[in-house]
Structure 1
Amino acid sequence: MKRNATAVWQGTGKEGTGHLTTQSTILNKTQYSFNSRFAEGIGTNPEELVAAAHAGCFTMKLSFNLSGAGFTPENLETKCEITLDNGAITNSHLVLSATVPGISKEKFDELVADAEANCPISKLYNTSISVEATLL
């Protein structure tokens, strides 16, 4: 399987503008710029997209882990915070809230750790990854 996205940029790094389009077109000429990346401008930015990718991938991997262990999650909600420092992504921090009937805290923690280490986006990163998980 292969997926793709296209970035188009016009102008200088600070004054220019760009747009992103994904293969599925869920992003279709979605604006991004210096201001949307480093200030509070309108549009998206690479770090926000990386955060969405990591949150989505980790949460889906955890759902597969839970199902494989015989548990059906009622709700898994993950927020991902990406840290950009001195031109490098230095941390991806996942905050998970989960409702999983019948699971012990020990088993839950084991399955979360596996999802953290083994979701494809975690494997892609060369950065520190951390997770806070709460079983409700």
Structure 2
Amino acid sequence: MPIRTASARWQGNLTEGSGTIRTGKGGLEGNYSFKSRFEEGEGTNPEELIGAAHAGCFSMAFSKGLADAGFPPDSVETTAKVHLDKTDAGFTVTRVDLETVGQVPGIDEAEFLKLAEGAKANCPISRLLSPGAEITLTAQLG
């Protein structure tokens, strides 16, 4: 399996500085700052990138699980809300709320929800995050 790479460059101090985050092959690149991370400023932040990775990983895993169960999806759309909270240990990602909507012909809701939970438990990014962060899931058929 290939090794995936990303990089970041930060210039200046914590509150006044700024930086750039880039994926290895340049598919994503964005500016970040104290304001984009801890307030509502322009730019991206590491937590959004974790959310994007988790939403993408979950959507692929869920699509595979659906297809393997005989229900190839028309689409799976997932949003990940990453909670960065101040704890006794410092700022910590404490929870990720996954919200997914699937367009899946022929499946009933119970099977859909079961397969969604399986994808939540087994996608590689969930496995990475779950020892330290709670992962919630809201799944609905579209």
Q: Same fold (TM over 0.5)?
A: yes
Deviations 1:8-31 (A, max 9, x none): 111111111111121110224x21
Aligned to 1:40: 40
Write out the 4+ residue segments of structure 1 that deviate beyond 2 Å after TM superposition: none
Superposition deviation, residue 40 in structure 1: 2.3
**Match of 1:26, as an amino acid?**
G
CA distance, structure 2, for counterparts of residue 66 and residue 99 of structure 1 = 11
**Match of 2:71, as an amino acid?**
F
Alignment partner of 1:16 is 2:17: yes
**Match of 1:119, as an amino acid?**
C
CA distance, structure 1, for counterparts of residue 28 and residue 102 of structure 2 = 28
Aligned to 1:121: 125
When normalised by structure 1's length, the TM-score is 0.95
**Match of 1:68, as an amino acid?**
D
Q: How many residues align?
A: 135
CA distance, structure 1, for counterparts of residue 35 and residue 140 of structure 2 = 34
Alignment partner of 1:133 is 2:139: yes
Superposition deviation, residue 91 in structure 1: 0.4
RMSD: 1.0
Aligned to 1:83: 83
The answer for unaligned runs of 5 or more in structure 1 is: none
CA distance, structure 1, for counterparts of residue 68 and residue 26 of structure 2 = 32
Superposition deviation, residue 98 in structure 1: 1.2
CA distance, structure 1, for counterparts of residue 106 and residue 22 of structure 2 = 42
Aligned to 1:71: 71
